[in-house]
Amino acid sequence: MTDENIPPPFTPRHYSWVGTHGGAGVTTLSRVYGGHDCGRAWPGPGDPRSVLLVGRTHAAGLDAVLRAVADFRREPPPDGLDLDAVVLVADAPGRLPRPLAQRMKAIESVIDVYRVPWVQSWRLGRTEGPPPRETEALAQLTGVGRR
């Protein structure tokens, strides 16, 4: 096999995590999945241009996500940014109430959504170890699943 037939090694895409509201979970997600913690600001010039918007699954969080996605699509995005997906972090253990699940479906109808379950150890500040198995797709997207 010649060098020209060898596929290049996989290089995960780097992401900027952007919160749609305070307490969305951006810092925790950047610690667990890697990438740049932008807080609630758009990425700066030296930050990854691929954006993952983050929100909690409570009513205010889902509304903030819907507004942010609509704003990003309505207004010209900041220079060179790509809105890749939304990451929704559970605001409590257990199933979502029906009204919140319906809001989530509205978000899923316009953009890819990755869900992160309630993780008690993260609440206590313990982010070491592998991400929850329910987030395998997000782990693969961010390259954590390939370590």
The candidate with the shortest Cα–Cα distance to 57, out of 104, 21, 23, is 104
* Tens-digit pLDDT profile for residues 86-117: 999 999 999 999 999 999 999 999 999 999 99
All structural domains of the chain, each given as residue ranges with its CATH number in brackets, are 3-146 (3.40.50)
Any residues with CB less than 8 A from the CB of 71 and at least 6 apart, and which? none
Whole-model pTM: value is 0.89
Single out the residue of 99, 134, 98 nearest to residue 117, CA to CA.
134
Query: What's the pLDDT tens digit per position in 7-63?
Result: 555 556 789 999 999 999 999 999 999 999 999 999 998 999 999 999 999 999 999
